[in-house]
Amino acid sequence: VRVQRRQLLAYLVTGLLVGLASCFVIAQGTSTLDQSVGSGKELAVIAAVVIGGTSIMGGRGSVLGTFLGALLVQSVTSGVTQLGWKSQLADLFVGIFIIIAVGTDLLRERARRAS
Amino acid sequence: MTAPTATPPASSQKDNGATTESTGARILRALLTQRIALLAVLVVVVVVWFFVLDAGGYLTAPYNFDYMSASLINAVPLAMLGLAELLVILSGRGGIDLSVGAIVSLAGMIFGFAYGEWGWGLIPAILLTAAFGALCGALNGFLVAYVGFPALIATLATFYGFKSLAIVVNNQSPISTPPIQNLFSITQSVEIPVIGANIPDVPLGLFTFLLPTVVVVWLLLARTTYGRRLYAVGTNDVAGRWAGIPVRGTRFKAYVYAGLISGLVAVVTVAQFASARPDAGVSGNGMALPAITIAVLGGVAITGGIGRVAGVVLATLLIVWLNAGILLAFIGNEGAQYQLLALGAVLIFAALLNGLTTRRYGGTR
């Protein structure tokens, strides 16, 4: 396998998808198009991917998991406001979910290695 | 049998090669292999360059020693958090702390409560804030060292947690009662006694916070058993365990110290803004990513086990004086937008140089 070419392609596709996402953000029609609209998104995205079961060490992960992870992050965020709690508390729950998701992963890994 | 005897001649031959090099080649080699030397030269180049631009009248305000000295106040939080990242990244196994900015926010609010509303004295309030920062760091350290989370994930999670708590704890509003507002005095520039008349005034925060932190971290890394152990654990986890080093405890402490330093940065930040802001450490690009950038630019290997205090300090000086100059090179606030571009360019330049050096001389020191 030509490793370098594959890795280049991975970053290329990432850039492509970011471009696509930015089109969507524009289409969403936030009243002003701010240059800083995307900053701070990268950590939220990593959170969604990790919750979706992608290993941070590489080599494991799925599209469906990532989709569900993103869905979970978003529903936690809107759920917290629906419950009438302060919307800023949502980030706390995202953090807790990351811990739980990766924690179960670790436990499973440990159990597998023990057996 | 032949292998051990073959090694010494090979290395002495290499030494001979080094001494027969021309002076120019030797200087180039020293610059490329020693990050400290390279950074020192870059700092001088940047400063001289802006002095020349200033003399040519290209800048909107004078770039002189007074201005450089005043801009050093920006170096205080940056260098301190850079040192925090140094400790954590040194500890190895993908060590990194994304939560330092969020700890700054949350600890800053604690400081705001203690000093601004509960009427605590300044020293007890600072101690409480530092202890609270260490507690936040301990949570990171526990997750990473004892439970076994990847550091990136654990600190990402705590980043969210601390950030959210900092905003909620005082209903999104900053604390800026009179005692907090008066605290601004500790970031003002002062004249140094005895020799002060001949050199520019220096921001007070440099002496009260940055210098002690630099000295303590340097002593910790270079002069204590803990420092040796941290380098050992960062270089090779397994070897460290077989050498009888308490690997988990050592790594755990690195995160606690990083949290402690973040707590101190919180005090500086509150003083700088004259207000305990709930988003102090996470607004804009946050504080964590610039701190990691500074550490990497300062020659800290992201794989752990390699890195020095002097590198981090010099990298901070380089970035702070470069940013200060860029701000003057453009009219209005436009320069602020270019600072990030410059930071990225410098970082890529440093990484490229690293790659080149590794290929040519076998690694930086």
> What is the reported pLDDT for B203?
76
Cβ within 8 Å, pair A106-B167? no
User: Who has greater pLDDT, B39 or B194?
Assistant: B39
Using CA coordinates, name the residue in chain A closest to B148: A106
Q: Which of residues 50 through 89 in chain A touch B, CB cutoff 8 A?
A: 50, 56-57, 86, 88-89
What is B37-105 written as a DSSP string?
Answer: HHHHHHHHHHHHHHHHHHHTT-SSS--SHHHHHHHGGGHHHHHHHHHHHHHHHHT-SS---TTHHHHHH
Q: Which of residues 145 through 164 in chain B touch A, CB cutoff 8 A?
A: 147-150, 152-154, 156-161, 163-164
pLDDT band with cut points at 50, 70 and 90 for residue B38: confident
User: Who has greater pLDDT, A69 or B136?
Assistant: B136
User: Shortest CB distance from B157 goes to which of A57, A99, A106?
Assistant: A99
Q: What is the mean pLDDT of chain A?
A: 79
- Mean pLDDT, residues B299-326: 86
Cβ within 8 Å, pair A95-B157? yes
List the structure tokens of B245.
């080093």
- B334 CB-contact burial (10 Å; exposed 0-12 / middle 13-18 / buried 19+): exposed
* pLDDT 10s digits, B94-152: 888 989 999 999 999 998 888 888 888 888 888 999 999 999 999 999 999 888 888 88
Q: Give A70 to chain B, closest Cα distance, Å.
A: 15
User: Who has greater pLDDT, B340 or A4?
Assistant: A4
The lowest-confidence range among A24-28, B193-197, B331-335 is B193-197
Distance separating alpha carbons of residues B151 and B111, to the nearest angstrom: 27
Cβ within 8 Å, pair A99-B149? yes
> What is the reported pLDDT for B256?
94
Partners of A92 on chain B (C-beta within 8 Å) are 160-161, 164-165, 168
User: Who has greater pLDDT, B296 or A112?
Assistant: B296
pLDDT of residue B281 exceeding 90, the answer is no
Per the DSSP assignment, residues forming a β-bridge with B276 are: B175
| Residue found under tokens 């308490």 | B246
pLDDT of residue B355 exceeding 80, the answer is no
pLDDT band with cut points at 50, 70 and 90 for residue B261: very high
Cβ within 8 Å, pair A89-B156? no
pLDDT of residue B18 exceeding 50, the answer is no
pLDDT band with cut points at 50, 70 and 90 for residue B11: very low
Cβ within 8 Å, pair A91-B285? no
* pLDDT 10s digits, A1-38: 788 888 899 899 989 998 888 888 777 766 556 666 66
Distance separating alpha carbons of residues B105 and B295, to the nearest angstrom: 21
User: Who has greater pLDDT, A29 or B215?
Assistant: B215
Partners of B160 on chain A (C-beta within 8 Å) are 43, 47, 91-92, 94-95, 98
- Mean pLDDT, residues B269-273: 85
The lowest-confidence range among B63-67, B127-131, B222-226 is B63-67
Distance separating alpha carbons of residues B103 and B329, to the nearest angstrom: 34
Partners of B164 on chain A (C-beta within 8 Å) are 88-92, 95
Cβ within 8 Å, pair B156-A106? no
pLDDT of residue B15 exceeding 90, the answer is no
Full-model pTM: 0.81
pLDDT band with cut points at 50, 70 and 90 for residue A53: confident
Partners of B286 on chain A (C-beta within 8 Å) are 40
- Residues of chain B above pLDDT 70, percent: 85
pLDDT band with cut points at 50, 70 and 90 for residue B7: very low
User: Shortest CB distance from A56 goes to which of B150, B160, B164?
Assistant: B150
